[in-house]
Structure formats: C-alpha cells, structure tokens
Amino acid sequence: MRYGNGENYWIVEGNHFDISRGTAEAATMEIEGNETLKFDPKRSALIIIDMQNFFCSSLLGRSDGAIKLVPAIASAIRSSRQLGMKIIWVNWGNRADTANLPPNMLYSRKRGGRTHIGEPLPDNLGLALVKDSWSAAIIDELAVLYDESDYLVDKYRTSGFPGTNLDQILRANGINTLFHTGVNTDQCVMFSLLDAAFLGYDNVLLTDCTATTSPSYAMEGAIYNMRGRSFMAVSESLMAASSLLETVN
C-alpha cells in the first residue's frame, strides 16, 4: 500500500517498509518486529543528542549508563559515514547569563535539584551547559570521531528544534529520515524525535544507542510514545546495511 503523495511517500508491503521514495541508491536494514526498512542514505542523518560531559562525565558523578553507549554510537557513526549519511551533533549550548531561557525551564531545573544552567560546577569545571564550556563539550570518547563535515547544533530546550537551525540544516540538505541516538531517552531524545515527526520527518530510534537515568517506567513510557512515530532498530542493523550496500557497489 502506498502512503503519501506523488513525491513524498512510503510503500508498505507486509513486513517491509520502503521509505526511500524511489531512489536508486537505497539501503535496507532490519528493524523491530522482524520487519525490514528500505531508506535513502543520501537523504538521511544520524542525530547524536547530548553526549556531553555534563551528562556523561564521572567527574560530575554521572552513572556509567551514557558512557556504555559509546561503542554502539561509535558503530552507528562509522556505519552512517560509510552509507553517506550526514552526522549531526545536537547539544546544549546556552548563554552564560541564561537570557535565552524562559523562567519555566530555569525553575524546573532548580525544583528538580539539578545544577542551574550557567551556574559554576565543582572543581573549577566551568559553567553548566554554557556554549564552549567543558560541560557542553562532546565527551572525549566520541569527540575523536567528529569530522569537519559534521554539523554541530546548539540547543536551548529539551527538544533540538525550537530556536535552533536544525530544521534548516536538514531541509537544506534534502534530509527526510533521521536516526536518533543519545541521552536521555525519555527527555531530549524523545522530544526531539516527536518534534521531528510533527515536522514531517521519518524517524528511526537506535535503541541500543540511547539511555536514561530516569526510572524504568519513564523509559517504558518513552518507548511506547516513540514507537507510534518511529521505527525501532539497533546499531548492528545499520552496520549490516552499510556492509551490504558497500558489497553491492
């Protein structure tokens, strides 16, 4: 069955989803539910959300949940590059005076007992989540994979879209399919994915490339909400797709 219009469409046949929109250079990967997904790598991007020192570093007493994602995210980065996909890092990067943030966000962080954005971190680690600060930097384990061809987007809300140039970058590059990774699953990852869906993008959540420090029920709820707006897959499936496409070419 075909969904969409003459230019923007999916074709769904049994357990196979073709969202490639007729490209001759499509890749196919396995997704959740013993299904397969055919997509156009040239019109796809890997989104890496908040893999920053503030959320991941043991120097701030963070759990190792985020660091444990490094092998899977690194694999997804390498596979994406082989496929010719764009790589987009979406990270908090605020003004030091927090003048770009609304009261509700500032209050919610204080109420939750978290370090206020723009406040000094312990041990002279600089200001929290301020652009170009240590805490806003990509963790070293992934920073080594950053390439000059990548895009780096500073975000100012839980979602990566409000007030940023993320949507502009995607549309300027003809991107229609987003692969989501990073932390936290039930917060910045979920809100960014849902905003992307509302804007008309196709979405794939790489479930082994995302984690949260929230209670298990929050993770379950997030996956439940995202499953209705996203395909689910793992980094190994993306790697297999890149290897298969490389063999064919």
Q: Which of 40, 154, 188, 202 is catalytic?
A: 188
Q: Which of 50, 154, 202, 208 is catalytic?
A: 50
Residues in the chain: 249
Residue 90 to residue 196: CA distance in whole angstroms: 13
DSSP 34: T
Known active-site residue 155: yes
Known active-site residue 110: no
**Minimal CA–CA distance to 85: which of 224, 249, 239?**
239
Q: Which of 40, 86, 155, 208 is catalytic?
A: 155
Known active-site residue 56: no
Q: Do residues 41 and 199 touch, judged by C-beta distance below 8 A? A: no
**Assigned token pair, 55:** 């959320």
Measured in Å, how far apart are the chain's first and last C-alpha atoms? Answer: 29
**Assigned token pair, 243:** 């290897």
Catalytic residue numbers read: 50, 155, 188
